[in-house]
Amino acid sequence: MRLSPRCRAILSGDQAGPRAGLIRSALAVPATLYKPVVGLRNWLYDHGWKKTYQLPVPVICVGNLTVGGTGKTPLVIWLCRLIQRRGLRVAILSRGYRGPTEQGNDETTLLRQALPEVPIVINPDRVQGGRQAVDDHRAQVLVLDDGFQHRRLRRDLDIVLIDCTCPFGYGHLLPRGLLREPPNQLRRADVVILSHCDMISKDELARLEQHIRQYLPPADAEARRPATLLVHSQHQPIGLFGSDGTKYNLSDLQGKRVFAFCGIGNPQAFEDMLRQLGAELKGHYVFGDHYIYDELDAKLLHEWRSEFQADRLVTTEKDWVKLRQIPPLAHIEELCWLKVETRITRGKEELGRRIVEILEGCPRR
């Protein structure tokens, strides 16, 4: 979903004026119609009217409530590595949103780069994709990427990420806001992970946590369901790389004049991270989420660097996996990309225990 800074300003209410208000009012109409459709679909699944399918191996789902970036990809990487350390074969199920069916999108490309030995099965039908992963790749554990709303496939653990910088999609369902479904659906989650916890104050984090807890059910001993686990995490920058493969120290950004650009779901978090690293952000440009770069963009980047007198052009790893495939972009000398990983800052041990409990029941084949 392409969201320019202007669109975000309108949806969030930051942009005032009669025109912005009229747009918000117009978008509220389809959002009002969307809500009962989502509610009915969830009710049918909750009461068994819509069928779910269980596979012979454990399924761990990583998803969210909103469209746009919440940090799912780094978490999927962290999760797969944890499973691999247990000596189990893991496969990822992806819908391959906005990418060729065979190759997937930028996120699946990044996953392949980080986890070259992990099969990624791309199929909008997650049940069929899961069966394929078990039959063709002998997977012992499946990680369902971006699957919280895909309820046909039964899962053993539902992990939902909430971005602290925009937790509830401006408080409205699509298209008035960014919510795919109402926040009360968090009751289905086994684990809620707050991402970008370091991007808000401690007081804001405490208020957000209190707000989320109102949607979480207590432990149910009869159903053998523990209380929903609330975990804190942040995106930790771990490296800065040049287009020629040179690795720089993160401290090299300190005081540097930087022009930032990206095509991700939450560009603000990326820009805030650069500022935290001491970069002097002279300008930025937000492409649409999953933007497909071409050779013409090389000219734009050169123009921006010259216009803003930037020492460096900096982008994300997710953007770089696409940029590097286009020679005029891959060889821009001043171009760098930032590598980040998920760091669990609270609840790591309990999260690990819950995952291990599921893995202990895996069939050893």
50-97 pLDDT tens trace: 999 999 999 999 999 998 777 899 999 999 999 999 999 999 999 875
pLDDT at 1: 54
Question: SS3 for 194?
Answer: strand
Same domain as 263, residue 152: no
Q: Which range (5-9, 78-82, 314-318, 343-347) has the least confidence?
A: 5-9
The CATH number of residue 241's host domain is: 3.40.50
Residue 186 inside a domain? The answer is yes
Question: SS3 for 63?
Answer: strand
Enumerate the H helices of 47-195 as residue ranges: 72-85, 106-114, 126-137
Same domain as 242, residue 205: no
The pTM assigned to this predicted structure is: 0.91
As a whole number, the mean pLDDT across the chain is 91
What the block records as the tokens of 37 is 């459709």
The CATH number of residue 127's host domain is: 3.40.50.300
Residue 301 inside a domain? The answer is yes
Sequence letter at residue 337:
W
Q: Name the residue range of residue 302's domain.
A: 236-342
Same domain as 145, residue 95: yes
Residue 11 inside a domain? The answer is no
pLDDT at 157: 97
State the number of CA atoms in the 13 A half-sphere of 138 facing the CB. 5
Distance CA(249)–CA(252), nearest Å, equals 5
Number of separate domains in the chain: 2
Same domain as 257, residue 274: yes
pLDDT at 100: 45
The model's confidence at residue 104, banded by pLDDT at 50, 70 and 90, is: low
The model's confidence at residue 223, banded by pLDDT at 50, 70 and 90, is: low
Same domain as 203, residue 92: yes
Find the mean pLDDT for residues 141-149.
96
Same domain as 306, residue 219: no
pLDDT at 3: 65
Distance CA(298)–CA(306), nearest Å, equals 13
Residue 294 inside a domain? The answer is yes
State the number of CA atoms in the 13 A half-sphere of 28 facing the CB. 11
Same domain as 118, residue 97: yes
Find the mean pLDDT for residues 332-352.
94
- Residue that is written with structure tokens 């747009």 in the block: 23
- Residue that is written with structure tokens 């086994």 in the block: 190
Find the mean pLDDT for residues 321-339.
91
pLDDT at 158: 97
Distance CA(66)–CA(162), nearest Å, equals 8
The DSSP result for 42-61, as a single string, is: HHHHHTTSS--B--SS-EEE
